[in-house]
Structure 1
Amino acid sequence: MSIANTKPLERRPIHPGEILREDFLPEYELSVTALAEALGVSRQSVNELLRERRAVSPEMALRLGKLFGTSPEFWLNLQRNIDLWDAAKGLKREIAHIHPLQVA
């Protein structure tokens, strides 16, 4: 069972790159280069993620989860929140006329 969220979020959710940049890198004393090497990806990929210009993919979520001892779902949920926020803002006018169906 889930609880309906009746209060809409008024600000854009936090990007996973910001979480990495502000919380994880300082805590683990990692540079962009060290993080890229630990993840087995390019420095450019990590840099784009940290600058919030790249989304967390399922592959990256698995890598981040393994490296930091978190779940891949943690990273994907952060990204999902961003994706839904952006989609809702972009489609606001288009979906405004859609009304929920009633069960017969």
Structure 2
Amino acid sequence: MATELQPVHPGEILREEYLHELHMSAGALAKKLGVPRTRIERLIKETTPVTVDTALRLAKFFHTTPQFWINLQTSYDIKTEARSLAKELEKIEPLADFEHAA
């Protein structure tokens, strides 16, 4: 049986793929973004989510898009919540013979 991977917090991506690669501290990034150092520290410690404000600032600085950062956060939130609701979600019976183009 395959082991399911833990959801990846956007702070891990920021820490491992950006800050470590650039040899940049949370404080240095916070200064560049014009935000409190604690905001970036909490994000890379995975104790706070990426907000729209932070996503906009990260996107501008790293030449990404705000959607990239928000999508990382949304994916993390959905996977985390799905795990905590798994037993309750199993009890929900899908509506028979109904397909809706989403």
TM-score bucket of the superposed structures, by smaller chain: 0.7 to 0.9
The sequence identity of aligned pairs, in percent, is 45
Runs of 5+ unmatched residues, structure 2: none
**Root mean square deviation, CA, Å:** 1.7
Q: Which amino acid letter does the alignment assign opposite residue 6 of structure 2? A: R
Q: Hey, which bits of structure 1, 4+ residues long, moved more than 6 A?
A: none
Equivalent residue for 1:88?
82
Return the match for 2:63 from 69, 76, 83: 69
The answer on whether the counterparts of 2:7 and 2:80 sit within 8 Å (CA) in structure 1 is no
Q: CA deviation at 1:92?
A: 1.1
Equivalent residue for 2:46?
52
| Superposition map of 1:2-17 within 5 A | 10-17=4-11
The answer on whether the counterparts of 1:12 and 1:82 sit within 8 Å (CA) in structure 2 is no
**Number of aligned positions between the proteins:** 96
CA distance in 2 between counterparts of 1:48 and 1:82 reads 16
CA distance in 2 between counterparts of 1:29 and 1:97 reads 48
Give the secondary structure class of the aligned counterpart of 1:24: helix
Return the match for 2:98 from 87, 98, 103: 103
TM-score, normalised with respect to structure 1: 0.84
TM-score, normalised with respect to structure 2: 0.85
Equivalent residue for 2:35?
41
